[in-house]
Amino acid sequence: MGRLRAPLFITRHVLIALVVGGVGGVLFMTFLLEFDHYTSSNAFCTTCHSMSYADESYRQTVHYNSASGVRASCGDCHVSEGVFAATWDHAIGSKDLFKQIFGPDYDDPVINALHLPEAAFAARKWFQKRDSATCKRCHTLEAIQGKRADTAAIHREETDGKSCIDCHYNLVHRQVPDASTFKREAWNRMVEEEFALEPGTAERLMSAH
């Protein structure tokens, strides 16, 4: 029986390159997994002070205080599944970090509240584009029962062509109207009243950015 021989192109240098490439690939994938895990955590997201406002409202909802003990984190809702999709989301999301550093002072509660609708609309589009895939990681349509007698029937019979976010868009963070009915002037007046500001302050602050 003849002795098996490696193909001629498998030289010592090729073997070294394969080993180095393999180890490098494993290390790179490990880095991506750890990077995505860390940057999807609430602890990381709330390092920006402006995100503390979103965190406050989140802690008042069942996504934080569920009877089952299941707690959805920022990443559970806002980061796609899979290391490459998650990495892509973080790469695209880095624009928010750019805005945090160079944009308006989102740490200011008034500025934050004034710009909140645009952030909410962008997040809703993100969910719609992915057919609410992150919602469906935890929620199974066929298993939804709800507390109302007709909850299961509504989800079974009236959800064709709809994504979760089409109906459930004010579950976790401060309520913002649907984009189709949103009125900037009314929102500005509401923010001014909430923070006891002089009329017209909202427009002045918005025009400054």
Q: How confident is the model at residue 144 (pLDDT cuts 50, 70, 90)?
A: confident
The answer on pLDDT for 9 being more than 80 is no
Greater confidence, 166 or 160? 166
Q: According to the model, what pLDDT value does residue 64 have?
A: 94
pTM of the model: 0.84
The answer on pLDDT for 116 being more than 80 is yes
Burial class (CB in 10 A: 0-12, 13-18, 19+), 10: exposed
Asked if residues 82 and 88 have their Cβ atoms less than 8 Å apart, the reply is no
Q: How far apart are CA 173 and CA 163, in angstroms?
A: 18
The answer on pLDDT for 172 being more than 60 is yes
Q: According to the model, what pLDDT value does residue 10 have?
A: 76
pLDDT in tens, 82-107: 999 999 999 998 998 899 999 999 99
Q: According to the model, what pLDDT value does residue 110 have?
A: 96
Q: According to the model, what pLDDT value does residue 1 have?
A: 55
Neighbours of 116 (CB within 10 A): 19
Q: How far apart are CA 134 and CA 139, in angstroms?
A: 9
Q: How confident is the model at residue 60 (pLDDT cuts 50, 70, 90)?
A: very high
